[in-house]
Amino acid sequence: MGTFSPGFRGRPRSSSGRLPPGQYEAYDFPVLSAGPTPWVSRDTWQVTVTSETGAEHTWSWTDLMGLPSERPTVDLHCVTKWSKFDTHWQGVSLDLLLADVETAAEFALVHSYGGYTTNLPLEDILDGKAWIAYGYDGDDLYPEHGGPARPLVPHLYLWKSAKWVRGIQLRLDDEPGFWESAGYHEYGDSWRDQRYQGD
């Protein structure tokens, strides 16, 4: 992968009780990534859920647009210490995508166009906790923010909401993703300040 985008330092902290430890409130939407932005056409985009047995379930862009969508409003918390309140998204609940997938898996490894991966416990993307988001603030989700589509898992640090999603691999065991293999926390709970391994 390429060079890393710079982080942010030295901004004042808000007194809001909505800020996890060590975070500050951002009013813009910073763009951070571990490499170049892949530009994926909606004509060729697809997302595939692969079970631990190898069974594949694939949705094209047209398929995704044909599913009922939701419009969650959530706070975002980035491991680089910014938080953004009341962000408005549109997407399809992962409960809906995984409803017909037979699995005994306990973990998910998300794969992105561009090669990025991140790992999550399966329970953290079910029960109304996560979406495949394709809209932001009333518009299409721009590529620099993960468009055409990305998982949105707002109760964890934002690196767990991998940009440019192309697949979700369901696993019986937990396999670290890109940042987790580089020393970031396996789980990434912003309220427990789980930034790095050992936190």
CA dist., res. 56 & res. 51, Å (int) = 7
Where in 144-194 does DSSP place strands (E)?
Answer: 150-152, 165-171
pLDDT of residue 10: 43
Query: What domains appear along the chain, each with residue ranges and CATH number?
Result: 49-192 (3.90.420.10)
What are the tens digits of pLDDT across the range 86-142? 999 999 999 999 999 999 999 999 999 989 999 999 999 999 999 999 999 999 999
What is the average per-residue pLDDT within 25-38?
81
Contact 190, 22 (CB under 8 A): no
Q: What percent of the chain has pLDDT over 90?
A: 84
Contact 42, 63 (CB under 8 A): no
CA-nearest of 97, 6, 100 to 47 is 97
- How many C-alpha atoms does 63 have within 13 Å on its Cβ side? 12
